[in-house]
Structure 1
Amino acid sequence: MARPRNFEEDTVLAQAAQLFAGLGYNGASIDDLLTATGLQRGSLYKAFGSKRNLFEKVLAAALAPGWTDRPAAVDLLIVALKELASEDAPIAALCRQAILESGTDTAQLLGARLLAHLD
């Protein structure tokens, strides 16, 4: 009999989102994720399967309607575009869908956010 989860998935996704937005996908190690979320290694892998699967769930949640009004969501989209989309079709599809559904100002929004990180 499987043990019930001792964590709220939405809370873990929010904690992981903050880490990925700050460090990037490649910069965030599994140990960083364990520290940020408070999960044990086995729990993280059982719940999400891999770091990549966790990132996909984080990205999908971040790109919910209204994402353009949330700077952290824009940061996650930038991370996905820079680090994963060119070689990961499902991540690329999430990015493409979000951009297409967001309207015509997306390029300006992404550019402004990138420039904000230079300060």
Structure 2
Amino acid sequence: MPRPRAFDEETVVESAARLFARRGFDAVSIDDLVGDLGIHRNSLYRTFGSKRGLYLRALRAARRQILQVMSAADPLQNLCRAVTSEEIGALDLLLMAAIEQGRADPEIAAEVAGAFAELDGYTAVLGNGTLSTATLLGLRLRVCVGEEMAHLPPNRPGRQTDQ
């Protein structure tokens, strides 16, 4: 009889997503995952199959998280907050996955492309959805390297505010 899990899968996936977003798939070893996530190597393999299996779960969880943010009230304001946040989040994992694994792994490329297409649907209210999403993701990259985005309008991106 197998022992019950001594860890919460969703918490492990969220923690792994932050680790992969911060360092990238290739720079995270199984030892890093075991140490940072506090689970045993055998549990990792039994639950997720492999490091790649955990990565895919983390990527899919990030995609769901973005959809939840976008389906809440005022999705563009929520997306603007995610873009300007100093926290490592779901957008960071999508960007890292696109850059690092997108060309090499068709399954990861499909997940990222699907997430970007979903974002395009929400950002289409700003005009061209693809261009708007690309602009917001570019802004996110600028935040990741420490650029201040305080000059962005506090309400919807692209909407002028009265001064």
The two structures have a TM-score, normalised by structure 2, of 0.68
Which residues in structure 2 correspond to 1:30-109 (within 5 Å)?
Answer: 30-64=30-64, 65=67, 66=69, 69=79, 70=82, 72-103=89-120, 104=129, 105-109=132-136
Aligned-pair distance for 1:59? 0.5
Counterpart AA for 2:140: R
Structure 1 counterpart SS, 2:26 = coil
Q: Tell me whether 1:111 sits opposite 2:138 in the alignment.
A: yes
Distance in 2 (CA, whole Å) between partners of 1:4 and 1:17 is: 24
Structure 2 gap segments, 5+ residues each: 71-77, 84-88, 121-128, 147-163
Structure 1 counterpart SS, 2:3 = coil
Distance in 2 (CA, whole Å) between partners of 1:93 and 1:22 is: 21
Structure 1 gap segments, 5+ residues each: none
Counterpart AA for 2:112: C
Counterpart AA for 1:80: A
The two structures have a TM-score, normalised by structure 1, of 0.91
Which stretch shifts more, 37-46 or 19-28?
Answer: 19-28
Counterpart AA for 1:90: E
Distance in 2 (CA, whole Å) between partners of 1:109 and 1:30 is: 33
Residue by residue, what CA displacement relative to the aligned partner does 1:28-48 show, whole Å, maximum 9, x if unpaired?
Answer: 111111111100111111111
Counterpart AA for 2:55: F
Counterpart AA for 2:7: F
The runs of 4+ residues in structure 1 deviating greater than 2 Å are 66-71
Cα RMSD after superposing both structures: 1.5
Aligned-pair distance for 1:117? 2.1
Counterpart AA for 2:49: G
Distance in 2 (CA, whole Å) between partners of 1:79 and 1:8 is: 25
Structure 2 counterpart SS, 1:77 = helix
Residue by residue, what CA displacement relative to the aligned partner does 1:83-106 show, whole Å, maximum 9, x if unpaired?
Answer: 111121111111111111112121
Which residue pairs with 2:10 in the alignment? 10
